[in-house]
Amino acid sequence: MYFPNTNEDPVLPHTIFTKGGGAQLLLPSLQGALTADVVIVGGGFVGVSAALHLAEAGKSVVLVEANEIGWGSAGRNAGHVAPHATKLNDEKLNAVYGPVYGPRLAKVGAGAPDFVQDLAARLGIDISVVKGGIMTVAHTDAAAEGLKAEAARLTKTGAAVELLSKEATARVVGSDCYRAALVDRRGIAINPLAWVRGLARAAMLRGARLYEHSRMRGMTRTANGWRVVTGQGEVEAGTLLLCTNAYTDDTWPGLKRTIIPVRTYLAWTKPLPDRLRESVLVGISAMIDTRRVPVAMRLHPDGRLQFGAGVGFGAPQQVDLAVAFRRLKDVLPQLEGVEVEGVWNGWVTRGIADGWRIHELAPGLVTAIACNGRGVAMGPIMGRELARYVSGTPRDELIVPLTQPKGIAWYPFYQMFGPTALKALKMLDKMEMARRA
């Protein structure tokens, strides 16, 4: 099987966010022996946020990252910040997390865009916020009915949402192929690379010690906690936080079997002509449709259009951009003649419960895992929760319960059967689109 942690190119790819992502941190690798209250493995959203909040709580912190800060999903995602903790509705959220944690998590998720903007403002991080809302568009009449019900539910909570007719949807998207849309005005889009690098800088300013190119080679229990060993150094600490998400390996037995890493490909175009900029994704932050394999896109302020270019389950493949762009042009035929400028890929994590988990693996050893496409805001929030727990917050006051990991029964087969399942989902989408005509 192909594993993200050991087989990937160690160089962070060039993306649409590179130019605005700020300078690389260029941190040293860990050399020699250090001690700390807490050692963190992983320099993504969860890890750097945990380091920040622990440092603000007065803890001594050492973080080790195998490559560079933001090298994983944090620096490669689409930059959407939805006002939801997971992709589950409230009923399913309560079924998964229970009557105490379900509503608690829903409340935190609803405030996720505000959390990002408030923390970025407090720390002085320029994350290039694009407001307007996240737009979900219905590809069938049945999906439109689902959006109508969701709009009614959200309206009762006081959320700033709008249900758009077919005609209004066409004016915003720039396409008449959708049946309706739900615009959640709370949603935003940002530069995720600037966000993760900014959090890391803020953590260091508060005393956290961060090291790049310091892959964990092993961890062992000690009399007072845990020892993490890297290629040229080691850290002893009372508490160890594993913040590796999609790049989780076999260091802790069975943990990687609780998630399914999914490789996502994203691409962007050269700047659109003015006539297109003014008629595509008008006044919104980002858009995603309701297909099983959705079309997702966002228009950047400089006129470049970012879009999903495919998914996979193993080694990186050469993306057929013509095919990927053709799928986008099925929605927006006016893009004919527009050139694609670049493409990149990275991993997101799917968990069996479709939501974040915090596992206490052993005394003093804790992990937050399974972003399920909700990492840009919820990753830093989960890092904050880890910091709260380590700093003495009772476990029953966290936003999710502390649990033991549960492996996915079909984990050994996902790379074998994932591509076939993906083709089947695309075929179902195609059949639905054909039937509605």
Judged by average pLDDT, the poorest of 84-93, 161-170, 196-205, 409-418 is 409-418
> Is the pLDDT assigned to residue 1 strictly greater than 70?
no
> Is the pLDDT assigned to residue 2 strictly greater than 90?
no
Q: Do 56 and 163 belong to one domain?
A: no
Q: What is the pLDDT of residue 430?
A: 85
- pLDDT by residue (tens digit) across 112-169? 999 999 999 999 999 999 999 999 999 999 999 999 999 999 999 999 999 999 999 9
Q: Is residue 319 part of a domain?
A: yes
What are 197's two structure tokens? 């690098």
Residue-range definition of the domain harbouring residue 147: 130-188+261-351
- C-beta separation of 43 from 208 below 8 A: no
Q: Is beta strand 134-138 parallel, antiparallel or unpaired with respect to 80-81?
A: unpaired
Q: Is residue 437 part of a domain?
A: no
- pLDDT by residue (tens digit) across 194-221? 999 999 999 999 999 999 999 999 999 9
Give CA–CA dist 414/411, Å, rounded.
Answer: 6
Q: Is residue 276 part of a domain?
A: yes
Nearest C-alpha neighbor of 234 from the set 247, 222, 252 = 222
Q: What is the pLDDT of residue 350?
A: 77
Q: What percent of the chain is modeled with pLDDT above 90?
A: 76
Q: What is the pLDDT of residue 408?
A: 83
Give CA–CA dist 169/167, Å, rounded.
Answer: 5
Q: Is residue 94 part of a domain?
A: no
pTM for the complete prediction? Answer: 0.95
Number of domains in the chain: 2
Q: What is the pLDDT of residue 5?
A: 65
Q: Do 17 and 69 belong to one domain?
A: yes
Q: Do 138 and 234 belong to one domain?
A: no
Q: Do 407 and 289 belong to one domain?
A: no
Question: Which of 122-131, 270-279, 417-426: highest mean pLDDT?
Answer: 122-131
Domain end call among 351, 378, 400: 351
- pLDDT by residue (tens digit) across 297-318? 999 999 999 999 888 887 777 7
Q: Is residue 220 part of a domain?
A: yes
**Mean pLDDT across the stretch 355-371?**
95
Q: Do 275 and 337 belong to one domain?
A: yes
**Mean pLDDT across the stretch 58-77?**
97
CATH of the domain at 166: 3.30.9.10
**Mean pLDDT across the stretch 74-101?**
92
Q: Do 214 and 249 belong to one domain?
A: yes
Q: Do 361 and 215 belong to one domain?
A: yes
Q: Do 176 and 271 belong to one domain?
A: yes
Average pLDDT over the chain, rounded to whole?
A: 93
